[in-house]
Amino acid sequence: MEYIEAKELLENSVRCVAMAMEQIRHRMIDYVMERNEPMQDHLAECSWAIHPYEGSTMKDCLDYLRHLHDGLTKAAEHDREVNTKGLYTNDVALIADMLRGFICTKYPDYLLECARDVSAEARLLLLAYGRKKRSEDNRKQMLTEFMTKVKALAEKHGVDLQNSRGQFSLPLAYLHDWMNRKYDETFDFD
């Protein structure tokens, strides 16, 4: 084998691995889509907008793989922490991540307390609205009540929702969409 062939084989192999991992990353995003927005966003952002293709340079592929490895390492640390602390119950880890606006690898006590309180409030509201007629007006009313309670609980626990000037708040958007899905799951409209 000539040096040129060996070099091309190495470059093509790295490019092939990068393109395969890009497909795996897309499947992972599809799996969490509309179920776990903080993880979805983490997986979408961890490649740093580098997308390997047949013409990618060796440097671009290696950069992509390094960024993806860092992102998957953080996702694995997150999963380990959630499993170790048993935070899947009542969506506590998911709510804590939504309150933060990104996935966590360490959860401070005040954040977990807030997440547990938000989870409890969500269950109470879903039970209360389960006794009412299913309608878009009731959905909107429930979401408004929920968001008001989330803001109060965040303030009580010292959680910054990044909404100090009335600007867009990613944590509030995550929580709004999550509760909206919970409403649909609970009442399963015909």
DSSP for 11-33, please give it: HHHHHHHHHHHHHHHHHHHHHHT
Non-local CB neighbours of 79 within 8 Å, separated by 6+ positions: none
Look at residue 150 and give its three-state secondary structure: helix
The pLDDT, as a whole number, for residue 166 is 65
pTM: 0.90
State the Cα angle at 114 between 82 and 86, rounded to 5°.
20
The pLDDT, as a whole number, for residue 164 is 59
Residues 96, 93: Cα–Cα separation, whole Å: 5
Task: Please answer whether residues 100 and 169 qualify as being in contact, where contact means their C-beta atoms are separated by less than 8 angstroms.
Answer: no
> Residue 71 region, left (φ>0) first, then alpha (ψ -120 to 50), else beta?
alpha
The pLDDT, as a whole number, for residue 12 is 96
Query: Rg for the chain (alpha carbons), in Å?
Result: 21
Q: Divide the 190 residues of the chain into consecutive groups of 10 and give the mean pLDDT of each group.
A: 94 97 97 96 92 95 97 97 93 97 96 98 94 90 98 96 77 97 76
